[in-house]
Amino acid sequence: MMRHQLLPIAAALCLSTAAQPTSSGTELWVTYMENLDLQFNTPPYFELVISSDVVTQGEVQVPATGYVIPFSVPAQHDTVITLPTNIYYPEGDEDVFDFGLRVVADDPVNVYAYHHRLYFSEACMALPYDRLGSEYLVLAHEDAVNTSPSEFVVLATADSTVVEIVPSVLTVGFRPPGVPYTVLLDEGQAFQQQAFGDLSGSRVRSLDPTKPVAVFAGARQARVNCQLSADDHLYQQIEPVANWGRLFHIVPFKFRGGDELRVLSGSDNNTISITGQAPVVLDSGEVADVFMSAPSAISATAPVAVGQFNESQNCNPASGDPSYLWIQPSTLQDERAVWSALTGAGTPEHFVNAVVGGEAGAPVLFLDGVDVSAQLQPMSGVPGIFWGQYSISAGEHKLECTSGMEAWAYGFGDYNSYSYPLGYGSSPLANGIEDLPGGTQLVTTLLLTQGSTFEGARWGLDTGSQQLVIDATGRVVCTLAPAERYTIGLASGHYVLRSADANEVKLLRLIIQ
């Protein structure tokens, strides 16, 4: 992941030098995964929602054939493209599909991919080429009664890409767990892996780091925490291990009884802490399943991936079957999100969840130009963090917060659902949030409050919530005079350190090393 760095300009001055990563780009790759058997229900159809901060134009391309669909996008709006009637995914275990999609544009765009199917809809956020990688750990989900496969799909972005796959469980094609094998793919080709067990923890690696791949994961159809109900398609694009994080904010789906959280560790001896629950220690490739009924924070001593899963309809108090939501780390925020909520083949109830930060109270949050800040609530046990759940109509929407926000879109219908993150870094943040230095170990946390006084020490920026984090081994990025005492203050919405001579250091997050 790109990291910010602070350079010591003077004893009492530190400046940020890099922009945060972004989920928008001028080249994005999309494919879909196998859904319900095509003999049943209505035929699927597929749509792309493409949004931009500026007026732009581009193409949806099929690299294997040269077929293109041109598009244009107005500034701060989106364009919905219904793809030509066809099947846009592999069928079966180890099937290779030739018609992956590439979206190219003159200016950065966000892309959301919808897979519409009666009772089996789903959607995901597509990643730009710059956010793809060569090393992945898969976060998927099994069917509760093991009658339908867990799955993931690997999409190549270049010819002659050799992909090494290490399944975590026995696959449908009898690939043994833990034994690597390779697949050769050309640009735009997608390879699908299926297993009746949970494929979470499977490893995917492009043997040439200059040829990144895109990976999508979930289940062909799965019951989640409910064996006596219907199943639904689970589908998300997952980020490479290099993009994972260590602090996450989770908001339950609205009107549900609570959701399953699935946490996947990227390293051994990783301590996972979740608001109100006992810590769990995981090794690399291991998964923890946790039930969450209230907004929560997840922190880890090393990077993890987090998925949020809606339960099957018969185990929930409202309509809506399983869906899979990839949760971005709290370091990745945006000022503005533009998207269209699509009812498609049966998801008429639409929602958006948001998380924002503010020590002096919740910041202003606009939904379609209306101030909805009054509906934000403090996250219990997580000082300075606020959350909201909003019901919205079908069609285009805009969510804005100038101090930064995390947001997720989703929809439900009778035995149907979809969900996806709304992205990060697409609009310039007034207040970027920094990533932890590599190797940092979180020892404990103290509430950062205005007026608190501390002895001078080595300071750096932290990723997470509005907290002061004591750090044992982190990289020193800025040094303050150790003989002085500094007082925490607030100035124009930013934390500052004030020394005795009134010099100020503008800070968003602090760590004592």
CA neighbor of 467 nearest in space, from 336, 361, 359, 386: 359
pLDDT value of position 256 = 87
DSSP 85-96: SS--S--STT-E
* CA distances to 196, 232, 234, 240, 471 from 417, in Å: 22, 8, 9, 25, 41
pLDDT value of position 320 = 84
CA neighbor of 321 nearest in space, from 347, 352, 345: 347
Q: Which tokens sit at 411?
A: 């929809």
What parts of the chain have a pLDDT lower than 70? 1-20, 428-513
State the DSSP code for 128.
B
Helix (H/G/I), strand (E/B), else coil: 374: helix
pLDDT value of position 498 = 57
What tens digit of pLDDT does each residue of 261-286 get?
A: 999 999 999 999 998 888 999 999 99
pLDDT value of position 486 = 53
* Gap between the Cα atoms of 357 and 249, Å rounded: 11
pLDDT value of position 40 = 83
pLDDT value of position 315 = 82
pLDDT value of position 426 = 84
pLDDT value of position 447 = 39
pLDDT value of position 296 = 93
147: Cβ contacts below 8 Å, ≥ 6 apart: 196
* Gap between the Cα atoms of 318 and 311, Å rounded: 10
CA neighbor of 157 nearest in space, from 188, 191, 127: 188
φ, ψ for residue 243, nearest 5 deg = -100, 0
For residue 340, what are the β-bridge partners?
396
pLDDT value of position 41 = 83
Which pTM does this prediction carry? 0.81
pLDDT value of position 487 = 56
**Quick one: 137 exposed, middle or buried, by C-beta within 10 A (0-12, 13-18, 19+)?**
buried
pLDDT value of position 436 = 35
* Gap between the Cα atoms of 46 and 44, Å rounded: 7
Answer yes or no: are the C-beta atoms of 329 and 68 closer than 8 Å: no
